[in-house]
């Protein structure tokens, strides 16, 4: 069967122009598949039946392969058998009765509460940029704002005495989001002790400013967050959205209801918010597997 794998991979290069990473993924999936077929005594494409594919997929699940990895393997098998049938290497396609996997939404990456604490504590000292960074991170985690909403905040959107801010979300929709005491304290300190020195002799209604006294950009915030994460000893791949995901997940884990979280995140459809229930269930499953004797 190895000769057919070589033909298929060559076809992907010449006819489809796929990248090396994609080819490597196909190769890993199909090498494992052909090894399984060899154990089953199958040496020709015409001997492969649908049941063999189903048993192989079941074996991947038994081996602990993640759902997304199993879905990717099925895509590899379907394309491999489609190629064999189209090139007349077999009389039937055993994969044509197996439905393609649905595109599941990616589970968002999050930080643990300890990691969040470390990140929020990373901007140390009383330098203007440290005070600004601390305030931005506290607001982002404390409210779950989108990064575009955070950097777009204007002074007039703050209602610190009442403990909330007014976010301007997608489609210019306005929503009220509560601010916790740590975020309020960090913002007040930034406005009093740091923002005037960043503003210099300029005028701006933007809350968060860069060194030049202008509103911070998405790229500027992303670079700052990466730097502060390294300072906190966090080396996983994080993005500005990571704190938004962490905000939602930690709320649900601590008993918040889905509708409230939906409102704070500014989701028009609760189905978008429901992905975080998958995250919390996945975390519970991992804890169970790790710590329970029968996990």
Q: Catalytic annotation on 245?
A: no
Q: Quick one: which of 76, 71, 66 has its CA closest to 29? A: 76
Domain residue limits, the chain: 2-86, 113-290
| CATH number for the domain formed by residue range(s) 2-86 | 1.10.150.130
Position 256 scores a pLDDT of 85
Q: Catalytic annotation on 294?
A: no
Position 293 scores a pLDDT of 62
Reply yes or no on whether the pLDDT at 232 is more than 80: yes
Q: Catalytic annotation on 276?
A: yes
Instruction: Tell me which CATH homologous superfamily contains domain 113-290.
Output: Intergrase catalytic core (1.10.443.10)
Catalytic residue among 146, 195, 228, 250: 146
For residue 273, name the pLDDT band (cuts at 50, 70, 90).
confident
Q: What is the pLDDT of residues 58-111, one digit of tens each?
A: 888 888 888 778 888 888 898 899 999 998 888 989 888 777 665 555 556 889
**Dihedral through CA 192, CA 194, CA 197, CA 200, nearest 10?**
-70
Structure-model confidence comparison of residues 271 and 56, the more confident one: 56
Position 291 scores a pLDDT of 56
Catalytic residue among 4, 33, 190, 276: 276
Give the mean pLDDT of the chain: 86
Reply yes or no on whether the pLDDT at 154 is more than 90: yes
Position 231 scores a pLDDT of 96
Catalytic residue among 49, 170, 278, 288: 170
Strand order in the sheet with 174-178: 158-159, 164-168, 174-178
State phi, psi for 51 to the nearest 5 degrees: -60, -30
Q: Catalytic annotation on 267?
A: yes
Position 239 scores a pLDDT of 84
Catalytic residue among 70, 81, 244, 250: 244
């Amino acid at each position: 069967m190895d000769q057919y794998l070589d033909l298929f991979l060559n076809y992907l290069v010449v006819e489809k122009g796929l990248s090396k990473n994609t080819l490597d993924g196909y190769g890993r999936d199909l090498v494992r598949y052909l090894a399984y077929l060899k154990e089953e005594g199958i040496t020709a494409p015409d001997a492969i039946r649908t049941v063999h594919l189903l048993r192989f997929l079941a074996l991947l699940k038994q081996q602990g392969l993640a759902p997304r990895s199993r879905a990717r393997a099925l895509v590899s098998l379907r394309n491999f058998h489609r190629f064999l049938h189209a090139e007349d290497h077999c009389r039937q396609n055993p994969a044509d009765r197996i439905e393609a996997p649905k595109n599941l939404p990616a589970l968002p990456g999050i930080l643990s509460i300890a990691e969040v604490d470390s990140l929020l504590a990373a901007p140390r000292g009383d330098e203007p940029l440290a005070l600004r960074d601390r305030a931005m991170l506290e607001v982002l985690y404390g409210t779950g704002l989108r990064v575009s909403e955070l950097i777009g905040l204007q002074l007039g959107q703050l209602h610190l005495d009442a403990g909330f801010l007014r976010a301007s979300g997608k489609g210019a929709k306005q929503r009220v989001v509560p601010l916790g005491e740590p975020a309020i304290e960090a913002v007040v300190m930034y406005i009093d002790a740091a923002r005037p020195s960043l503003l210099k002799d300029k005028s701006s209604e933007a809350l968060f400013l860069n060194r030049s006294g202008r509103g911070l950009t998405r790229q500027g915030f992303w670079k700052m967050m990466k730097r502060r994460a390294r300072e906190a000893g966090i080396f996983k791949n994080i993005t500005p959205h990571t704190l938004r995901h962490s905000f939602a997940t930690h709320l649900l884990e601590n008993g918040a209801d889905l509708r409230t979280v939906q409102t704070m995140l500014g989701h028009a459809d609760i189905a978008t918010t429901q992905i975080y229930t998958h995250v919390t269930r996945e975390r519970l499953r991992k804890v169970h597997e790790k710590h329970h004797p029968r996990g």
